[in-house]
């Protein structure tokens, strides 16, 4: 392979770029996972991650991908043949729906168009019809990575409560947590699901369930087979900072540093930074004359932007041109969006110049690939970023 100078721009919507602080934190000898030093590490990350989930309740950590956390949420709370209500927001909602069927659950899937978030009203109406309370859980995706659409989880909880329904609320916030606001306890989420390689800025390999008391009580009645995913044994060991099987020790070092970095910046500042980059990206897309997939402004993702290419042009061809010429990876269109859209990730360890380099690569790629567009997208982003730059004192003035 020919050497390419400079860094690779990894601008997919996860895994996100891993900052040096986290890489250095993981670059340590593996320690005895039954010893006292590990117990301190375990207690630190198990306590710290609660602040990111905004919960006072337990969070369990698995050596797994987000898919594992999906399964853990289901098998710990439900019984074979239970009915669950889901909403089609995109590819990941669709995949989660597929998992429920494999596990022997009866899943109702409310159809969506992949351009809007969850319709809380539709969920509320269906629950109101369920007078026998056959539906045991509502499963929704907070932030749909395939489409760049964010759903209003608080409104889903209000719909469940207004229907007077006892169903659990299970929420996938895999690409949301750590990048956009998520309030597990305040929104009444019974199981919140995420993984390490998105807003937590880490490599893949850790997944999480934040568990409400109601979900924990349901787990005592649940009969779906579980061993590796069982909360009971996990929580028993976690009480002392340990795990029931060999943990991903070096990833936990990284998690400790990731939590410290998020809290050091301040979660509200992290969320504001992501919102600012998201708006700058959409302004660039509009200036190019292209279309953002998400249709409702209040649902626009602050983590990624999914962009439709004009009819007759290949999104995958554009991505290849950009990779070949500028060593930058963009997210592919998934399922219904295959070759119709590309995804620009703007999450995690990311700043103004990172975004402008990303958008410059896209604009140059559009020109080389012959995709119809107008010039000036990067300039539109520059103008917005300059107007909204956080005001900071210089070192000299501060001194």
Count Cα neighbours of 102 within 13 Å in the Cβ-side half-sphere: 9
Residue 23 vs residues 207, 208, 255, 267, 277: alpha-carbon distances, Å: 18, 20, 10, 21, 24
**Greatest distance between any 2 Cα atoms in the chain:** 69
- Residue 282 annotated as binding? no
Distance, CA of 295 to CA of 398 (rounded, Å): 44
Are 9 and 323 in contact by the 8 Å Cβ rule? The answer is no
Q: Is 55 exposed, middle or buried (0-12, 13-18, 19+ CB in 10 A)?
A: buried
CB atoms within 10 A of CB 227: 8
Distance, CA of 281 to CA of 302 (rounded, Å): 10
Report the chain's terminal Cα–Cα distance, integer Å: 50
Distance, CA of 257 to CA of 2 (rounded, Å): 35
Are 132 and 93 in contact by the 8 Å Cβ rule? The answer is no
Instruction: Provide DSSP, 44-101.
Output: HHHHHHHHHHT-SS-EEEEES-HHHHHHHHHHTT--TT-EEEEE--SHHHHHHHHHHH
- Residue showing tokens 């554009």: 318
Instruction: Provide DSSP, 169-200.
Output: EEEE-TTTTTTS---TTTTT-SEEEEETTSTT
Which of 278-311 are b and which e, b meaning 16 or more Cβ less than 10 Å from the residue's Cβ? bbbbbbbbebbebebbbeeeebbbbbbbbbbbee
- Binding-site residue numbers are 343
- Binding-site residue numbers for substrate are 343
């Amino acid at each position: 392979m020919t050497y390419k100078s400079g860094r690779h721009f990894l601008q997919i919507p996860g895994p996100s770029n891993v900052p040096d602080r986290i890489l250095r934190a993981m670059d340590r000898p593996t320690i005895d996972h039954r010893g006292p030093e590990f117990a301190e590490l375990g207690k630190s990350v198990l306590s710290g991650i609660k602040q990111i989930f905004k919960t006072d309740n337990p969070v369990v950590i698995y050596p797994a991908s987000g898919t594992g956390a999906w399964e853990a949420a289901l098998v710990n709370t439900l019984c074979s043949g239970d009915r669950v209500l889901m909403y089609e927001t995109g590819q990941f909602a669709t995949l989660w729906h597929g998992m429920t069927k494999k596990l022997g659950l009866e899943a109702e899937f409310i159809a969506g168009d992949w351009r809007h978030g969850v319709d809380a009203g539709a969920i509320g109406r269906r629950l109101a019809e369920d007078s026998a309370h056959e539906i045991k859980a509502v499963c929704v995706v907070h932030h749909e990575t395939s489409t760049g659409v964010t759903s209003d989880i608080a409104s889903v909880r209000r719909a469940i409560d207004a229907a007077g329904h006892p169903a659990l609320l299970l929420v996938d916030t895999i690409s949301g947590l750590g990048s956009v606001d998520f309030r597990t306890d305040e929104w009444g989420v019974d199981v919140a699901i995420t993984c390490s390689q998105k807003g937590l800025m880490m490599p893949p390999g850790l997944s999480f369930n934040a568990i409400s008391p109601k979900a924990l009580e349901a787990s005592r009645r649940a009969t779906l087979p579980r061993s590796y995913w069982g909360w009971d044994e996990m929580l028993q060991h976690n009480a002392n900072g340990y795990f029931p099987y060999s943990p991903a020790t070096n990833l936990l070092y990284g998690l400790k540093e990731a939590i410290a970095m998020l809290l050091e910046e301040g979660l509200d500042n992290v969320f504001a930074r992501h919102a600012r980059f998201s708006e700058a990206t959409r302004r660039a897309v509009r200036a190019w004359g292209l279309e953002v997939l998400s249709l409702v402004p209040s649902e626009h993702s602050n983590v990624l932007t999914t962009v439709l290419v004009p009819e007759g042009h290949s999104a995958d061809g554009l991505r290849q041109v950009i990779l070949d010429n500028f060593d930058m990876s963009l997210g592919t269109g998934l399922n219904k969006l295959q070759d119709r859209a590309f995804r620009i990730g703007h999450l995690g360890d990311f700043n103004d110049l990172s975004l402008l380099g990303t958008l410059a690569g896209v604009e140059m790629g559009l020109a080389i690939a012959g995709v119809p567009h107008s010039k000036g997208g990067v300039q539109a982003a520059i103008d917005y970023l300059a107007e909204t730059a956080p005001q900071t004192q210089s070192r000299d003035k501060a001194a």
